[in-house]
Structure 1
Amino acid sequence: MQSDPPQPPTTAPEDPAASLEAQLSVLEAQVLHLQAVASQARGLFQDSPGAALLLTDQGRIQDVNVRGAALLGSARTALLGRSLSKVLPAASQVALTSLLGHVFEERGQRRGEIQLLTSSGDRLELVIDLVLHQGGDQGYLCHVTLTDVTAFKLAHQAIWDAQQAQDAQRHHQAAQLRQLQAEFESVILASGRALEDTLTRARSVLADATASPDAWTHLDDSLRQAQGLLDSLKRYMQLRFMRTRLRSVNLNQVLRDVLKDVADQWVGRDVRITTAPLPTVSGDSQALQLILHEYVHNALKFTRTRPQATLRVVLQEDAFEYRIGVEDNGIGFNMRQKEKAFELFGRLHADDHYEGTGLGLAVVRRLCERFGGRAWGEGKVDQGATFWFAWPKTPQVK
């Protein structure tokens, strides 16, 4: 007789209540975990070191952290539900709308630059980063991070401006060097031609054994002109290679030295010179002596035909500069030619009556401009002239 096969052990039926309780415990634990994660995430959002916001696709603020509220200059509760565009200038409003559109349509992320208007009226430069964020019951939101780059922009602009200024200065200096080179070549060529003409006339007189007394007189005049040209060239070269430095210069002493230098020009003449008390200025004594020497020398030269020559050194002053003029009662000049007097080799009168090279006043103007000053002349035909130079109270050597 066969035995029955072994039967599997029987188990007690599962208790539905116990099973449900276990599932509820698991769900409760999961909920608590999710709440903890959400609380942690919210804490990270609120305490983030960067300014952060959650925006709807319309740009309304659903949430903002501490730094974001501080950047926007309002309390968090006052910002909720407001449009971020309200604190942006027009161009940035357009940029924000475009960025939000791309993020929500493409489910991606974007970066751009906008400006923010602060409550004090300042404009902050911001980098804005946008990324799509699952907002739970609210659907999708845009997580926005704002980074203030105003200081960086200002520093970058300052560096750019400094570079532009340096480039402009280099171009200006290069142009000045080209101008000086062209001027130097012009002076040398013109001087060479004048000296060659003088030497040619001198050789012709010396070669002519029967030369008349008038020819010897012309030779003497030519040699004096040559000497005058050499003196002018000497002053011009002094200007070109002068090493200037600023120090206190008593113009009264400078004028006394100049009058001693030109004393031979009034020997046998009736010359009366008056002068206002002159100031002590910041400048270069050699440069100032060259300027006053040229003015006084010209005044004595162009009053030569007067029975009595009168020279007045006058002074005007304002908050920024001294204006010093040398006035004479000489032959004067037409004001329509006032600029010609200060051009290289510019002459207002025929050289057969008044010697000179036309370099002197050009040197004066360049010296004045080198210290930030000016030089000009005023006059009337046959009624005298006044030649001025303005000297800054705070000169800047160029």
Structure 2
Amino acid sequence: MQQQGRLLFSEAPAPYLLLNAQGLIQDINFAGASLLGRNREVLLGKHFGQFLASTSQRSFDHLLSQASQQGLSYRSEMQLLHLDGTEFEVLLDLNAEKPAGELQRFRLIVTDITAYKAAYTHLLNDTESHQRQLQAQSSRIRELNQELEHVVTVFIQQLHLPLTRAMNFLGRTRRALGNASDEVKPPLLNTEQAVQQVIALMASIERYMRVRSMRIRLRTVNLNSVLSEIRKNAQPLLAERQIQITSDVLPTVQGDPQALYLILDEYVANALKFTKEKNPARIHILVREGESEYHIGVEDNGTGFHMRQRNQLFGRLHSSKAYEGTGVGLVTVRRSAQRFGGRVWAEGKVNQGATFWLAWPKSPVLRE
């Protein structure tokens, strides 16, 4: 049995050493001698620390001291020396044998981890390189976004004046023609509508860009005051149509007044747009309070939509030949709500109206 155990020790694939209490090599297997690059007879009686790099010798002595005092297994990475003096990385597993509370010897397993350390170092270098690349790409993307925002802003500003002049010219021409023939007036009206659509598109994009760069902060906002301001600004549109706008008592919430105005204003404008054929048009603002959020809905009796189209919402559903609009406004609504942890959705039936909902958290958390 003892001979079999001796054979297993000698032939073990892992470098295996037995050290006495002072750290001298009492026994070593073939794998251990091969790792140290010396004959077994030369190694016996030598202190294992002398085969370590100078930077690891003190650490090894400390490891021996800990193991002898505590009688536990310890693991540590150190550097061994080749015969030519070059260093290589090893992992030491040291176990103190104390059968009767008195240190008898140490069992030491040595694992060459040079390849592992090289791979680990390579991985770290690759990771650092990728992080630098990502940082550079992020910086470049920020620069491109800023450049794009600047270009779009300048483009919109530059278009305002010629479009306004075009609208004035078309209006004056139409009025100057008076009772012109049917061959003349329709093209003028169509051209005027086309220019109005471009102006509306520019306004939507301008609002979207403003939301992207909006500096928001949380404060107390009375939604009744927000709705009152929206109705005041919509008076020119309301004066030309029969529209009933009613509302539940709206809550006071935590949020940004600009963002909340933008969302509700877009919802009301959307309701006005899709009730153009209704007389009278009815718009009602609903409130439902949940445990953690308020649900604010803008309900109308307009054209509605089929619920199969609900995944297409917050983009334009109707042909621009029938209704003006671009869908950019609802995209802006979604983005604005999400920055506070809010949600948006809609419900509707064809020719029976729609309700566009905003779920606003009672304790919003700002998100970029």
| TM-score category of the 2 structures, normalised to the smaller one | 0.5 to 0.7
Query: What is the number of equivalent residue pairs in this alignment?
Result: 255
1:130 aligns with 2:99: no
1:351 aligns with 2:315: no
Of 177, 200, 206, 1:228 maps to: 200
1:304 aligns with 2:276: yes
Cα–Cα, structure 1 residues 181 and 140, in superposed 2: closer, same or farther, change >3 Å? same
Cα–Cα, structure 1 residues 380 and 140, in superposed 2: closer, same or farther, change >3 Å? same
Cα–Cα, structure 1 residues 246 and 135, in superposed 2: closer, same or farther, change >3 Å? closer
1:246 aligns with 2:218: yes
**In structure 2, the residue corresponding to 1:310 is in which secondary structure?**
strand
The superposition leaves residues 6-26 of structure 1 with CA deviations (integer Å, 9 ceiling, x where unpaired) of: xxxxxxxxxxxxxxxxxxxxx
- What is the match of residue 363 of structure 1? 332
Q: Which has the larger radius of gyration?
A: 1
1:333 aligns with 2:302: no
- What is the match of residue 88 of structure 1? none
- What is the match of residue 234 of structure 2? 262
TM-score, normalized by length of structure 1? 0.53
| Contact 1:310 1:328 (C-alpha < 8 Å) held by counterparts | yes
Give, in angstroms, the shift of residue 232 of structure 1.
1.4
Of 236, 244, 251, 1:279 maps to: 251
The superposition leaves residues 26-56 of structure 1 with CA deviations (integer Å, 9 ceiling, x where unpaired) of: xxxxxxxxxxxxxxxxxxxxxxxxxxxxxxx
Query: What letter is aligned with 1:301?
Result: K
Whole-angstrom distance in 2 between the partners of 1:236 and 1:139: 76
Give, in angstroms, the shift of residue 241 of structure 1.
1.9
Mapping of residues 100-179 of structure 1, within 5 Å: 102-103=17-18, 106=28, 130=94, 140-142=104-106, 174=138
- What is the match of residue 32 of structure 2? none
**In structure 2, the residue corresponding to 1:391 is in which secondary structure?**
strand
The superposition leaves residues 270-317 of structure 1 with CA deviations (integer Å, 9 ceiling, x where unpaired) of: 322221111111111011000000000111111111122111111122
The superposition leaves residues 306-337 of structure 1 with CA deviations (integer Å, 9 ceiling, x where unpaired) of: 12211111112222221111011110112232
Q: Please, which runs of 5 or more residues in structure 1 have no aligned partner? A: 1-97, 113-124, 145-166
Cα–Cα, structure 1 residues 132 and 277, in superposed 2: closer, same or farther, change >3 Å? closer
| Contact 2:344 2:357 (C-alpha < 8 Å) held by counterparts | yes
Percent identity between the aligned chains?
Answer: 42
- What is the match of residue 343 of structure 2? 374
**In structure 1, the residue corresponding to 2:313 is in which secondary structure?**
helix
Give, in angstroms, the shift of residue 394 of structure 1.
1.5
Q: Please, which runs of 5 or more residues in structure 2 have no aligned partner? A: 1-12, 20-26, 29-43, 50-59, 65-72, 77-92, 109-130
| Contact 1:314 1:327 (C-alpha < 8 Å) held by counterparts | yes
Whole-angstrom distance in 2 between the partners of 1:383 and 1:305: 12
The superposition leaves residues 242-289 of structure 1 with CA deviations (integer Å, 9 ceiling, x where unpaired) of: 111111101110011111111222224332222111111111101100
Whole-angstrom distance in 1 between the partners of 2:220 and 2:214: 18
Whole-angstrom distance in 1 between the partners of 2:227 and 2:103: 90
The superposition leaves residues 114-154 of structure 1 with CA deviations (integer Å, 9 ceiling, x where unpaired) of: xxxxxxxxxxx975873667989x9944499xxxxxxxxxx
CA RMSD of aligned residues (A): 4.6
Mapping of residues 199-214 of structure 1, within 5 Å: 212-214=184-186
Of 264, 273, 286, 1:314 maps to: 286
The superposition leaves residues 209-242 of structure 1 with CA deviations (integer Å, 9 ceiling, x where unpaired) of: 9970111111221222122123212212221221
Whole-angstrom distance in 2 between the partners of 1:253 and 1:303: 24
1:386 aligns with 2:355: yes
Whole-angstrom distance in 2 between the partners of 1:312 and 1:139: 86
Give, in angstroms, the shift of residue 102 of structure 1.
4.7
| Contact 1:323 1:391 (C-alpha < 8 Å) held by counterparts | yes
The superposition leaves residues 187-209 of structure 1 with CA deviations (integer Å, 9 ceiling, x where unpaired) of: 959x98xx89x97xx69988xx9
Greater mean deviation of Cα atoms: 267-276 or 251-260: 267-276
Query: What letter is aligned with 2:217?
Result: R
| Contact 1:100 1:142 (C-alpha < 8 Å) held by counterparts | no
Whole-angstrom distance in 1 between the partners of 2:213 and 2:145: 13
Whole-angstrom distance in 1 between the partners of 2:225 and 2:290: 22
Mapping of residues 37-52 of structure 1, within 5 Å: none
**In structure 1, the residue corresponding to 2:272 is in which secondary structure?**
helix
- What is the match of residue 67 of structure 2? none
Of 168, 171, 189, 1:217 maps to: 189
Whole-angstrom distance in 2 between the partners of 1:358 and 1:139: 81
| Contact 1:103 1:131 (C-alpha < 8 Å) held by counterparts | no
Query: What letter is aligned with 1:332?
Result: G
